[in-house]
Amino acid sequence: MATGAAMADRRPPRVRSGLAGMTWPGLPPRPASQALALLYQLEHSQWLAKAELERHQFRQIQLLLRHAFKSVPYYRARHGAWGIDLDQAVTPEILRRHIPILTRPEIQQLGEELLSEEFPKGHGKTGEVLTSGSTGRPIRVVKNELTETFWNALTIRDHLWHRDPNLRLASIRPLPGNRAPYPEGEFFNNWGGMLAQVFANGPSALLNIGTPIADQVEWLQRFDPDYILTYPGNIQAIAIHCERHKIGFPKLKQVHTVSDLLRPEVRKICRDVLNVPVIDVYSSAEVGYIAMQCPDSENLHIQSESVFVEVLKEDGGQCQPGEIGEVVITPLHNLTMPLLRYSIGDFAEVGSCDCGRTLPVLRRIMGRTRSMVKLPGGDEFYASFQDLLTGFDMIRQFQVVRRGPEALEMKLVAVRQLSDAEAGQLTTILQGRFRHPFSVTFSYVDEIPRSAGGKFEDYKDESEAVT
Ligand SMILES: [Zn+2]
């Protein structure tokens, strides 16, 4: 396929040398050479036979369990009751049968009890991350330098799967304070991070995502990137602006989306208006990379060298391709704070891929931006809006606003207005999705404003005193 062929034509990236008196072959300094040592194996492990991949993964899980039951108070106290025998080889079935799922509220409650009292020195200094997740209640996870090295190696894998690091990369991201403001942003002579220490690479530029969309577009025109990295909602707004003002980016080859849920309409508008594909990634601050888009398709390959991922049906059984279930993750290398079978709060559809890589496949991720909806009768539930717009190609973006106990307004950025029949169909879809016969009105807007954090919200409750 196109992207695979493009990869094969590409020159291999040049390894930088950190050693005086040596320029070729390259030998990078220590943290970078560690990342390179992992990358060498990642190049091979993506093609391993499925059983072999799982065997290696469970050698590491066996070690992780041994460590957790010995040095982590929460697990140590439950080892006997859970009845898992570590003198026998642990398999996915044994793990599922003996280790209960760990939820976000449990992580909040357990606090220090999940921290290891002693872990190998070589895993480096610890640091903590706070993550809010889709429900907005933050959890604290402690990681270390080894988990950081994995993050870096997998970041490079993502680049090598999808990009030529000699080209130009523009990033538009949330940044602390007023860092990288318009009109300048910040410019660098490489892509930064571990990639820049391992491989020779091209220039990059950074802009604060708080910048108004028209200014972002003007900045992008000046930088003229080959790749844009940003949030899905942001590139959607950029593409809507470009469509309206007939602006193109002549050199652009690809949009790379991170952080939020990528909806089908974002892929579509990037293809239609910017003439480029979107490459997505599924990661989280607490567990690192979970899955990355295949170089040859829109599937996401689970990063099995770093995480063990289960997608579970309501009865606890493993989903088969085509089935949607709860995502449960066991990070393999965080011995500082082992999370065994952590339910991250997302749902995903299991898939399969014919690219030859044996890393398991998620066809799509759902529910990372689910919103809590309160019905007039008092019921509450999480609504997901993915695929809401299937068949409504004239709609570029939407937001559903709760106007009162019985009233929804759907704000639309659209190429044209809906016909009466289309409005009727969409009303029926919304009433189904909201599980209540709300009255629905449609309004057409030029722009849907972002929240303070720079994110786009699918659903906003602006009604008062809904009980
Ligand atoms: Zn694939």
Strand partners, 347: 326, 366
CA of 309 to the centre of ligand 1 (A): 17
Any long-range contacts for 372-380 (C-beta under 8 Å, 24+ apart)?
373/402, 373/434, 373/459, 373/461, 374/461, 374/466, 375/434, 375/435, 375/436, 376/405, 376/406, 376/436, 376/466, 376/467, 378/467, 379/435
CA of 46 to the centre of ligand 1 (A): 10
CA of 133 to the centre of ligand 1 (A): 27
Q: What's the pTM value of the predicted model, to 2 decimals? A: 0.86
CA of 54 to the centre of ligand 1 (A): 17
CA of 292 to the centre of ligand 1 (A): 10
Separation between Cα atoms, residue 385 and residue 460, nearest integer Å: 13
CA of 433 to the centre of ligand 1 (A): 32
Given this model, what pLDDT does residue 17 score?
92
**351-384 pLDDT, tens per residue?**
999 999 999 999 998 865 456 677 888 777 766 6
Tokens read off for 120? 């190998």
CA of 276 to the centre of ligand 1 (A): 19
Question: Which of these, 248, 300, 305, lies nearest to 273 by C-alpha position?
Answer: 248
b (16+ CB within 10 A) / e for 306-336 = bbbbbbbeeeeeebeeeeebbbbbbbbbbbb
CA of 255 to the centre of ligand 1 (A): 19
| Residue 216 and residue 207 in contact, taking contact as beta carbons nearer than 8 Å | yes
Question: Which residues in the chain show pLDDT less than 70?
Answer: 1-10, 132-137, 367-372, 382-384, 386, 451-456, 464-467
**Residue 183: CB atoms within 10 Å:** 10
Given this model, what pLDDT does residue 450 score?
72
CA of 297 to the centre of ligand 1 (A): 6
| Residue 326 and residue 347 in contact, taking contact as beta carbons nearer than 8 Å | yes
CA of 256 to the centre of ligand 1 (A): 17
CA of 110 to the centre of ligand 1 (A): 38
The dihedral formed by the CA atoms of 219, 223, 229 and 234, expressed in degrees to the nearest 10: 20
Given this model, what pLDDT does residue 136 score?
54
Helices (H), 46-192: 50-71, 73-82, 92-98, 104-110, 145-162
CA of 237 to the centre of ligand 1 (A): 29
What topology does CATH give the domain 1-369?
Rossmann fold (3.40.50)
Separation between Cα atoms, residue 271 and residue 292, nearest integer Å: 20
Q: What SS3 class is residue 113? A: helix
Q: Identity (one letter) of the amino acid at 428?
A: T
CA of 55 to the centre of ligand 1 (A): 21
CA of 320 to the centre of ligand 1 (A): 17
Given this model, what pLDDT does residue 407 score?
93
CA of 42 to the centre of ligand 1 (A): 15
Given this model, what pLDDT does residue 386 score?
67
Tell me whether domains 1-369 and 371-461 share a fold.
Answer: no
CA of 311 to the centre of ligand 1 (A): 18
CA of 372 to the centre of ligand 1 (A): 34
CA of 14 to the centre of ligand 1 (A): 25
CA of 442 to the centre of ligand 1 (A): 40
Question: Which of these, 60, 117, 43, lies nearest to 359 by C-alpha position?
Answer: 43
Given this model, what pLDDT does residue 466 score?
43
Given this model, what pLDDT does residue 1 score?
38
Separation between Cα atoms, residue 257 and residue 233, nearest integer Å: 9
- Residue partners of 430: CB distance under 8 A and separation at least 6: 388, 400, 408, 410, 438, 440
Given this model, what pLDDT does residue 371 score?
63
**Domain residue limits, the chain:** 1-369, 371-461
CA of 45 to the centre of ligand 1 (A): 13
CA of 354 to the centre of ligand 1 (A): 6
**316-354 pLDDT, tens per residue?**
999 999 998 999 999 999 999 999 999 998 889 999 999
Could you tell me which CATH class the domain 371-461 is placed in? Answer: alpha beta
Given this model, what pLDDT does residue 453 score?
55
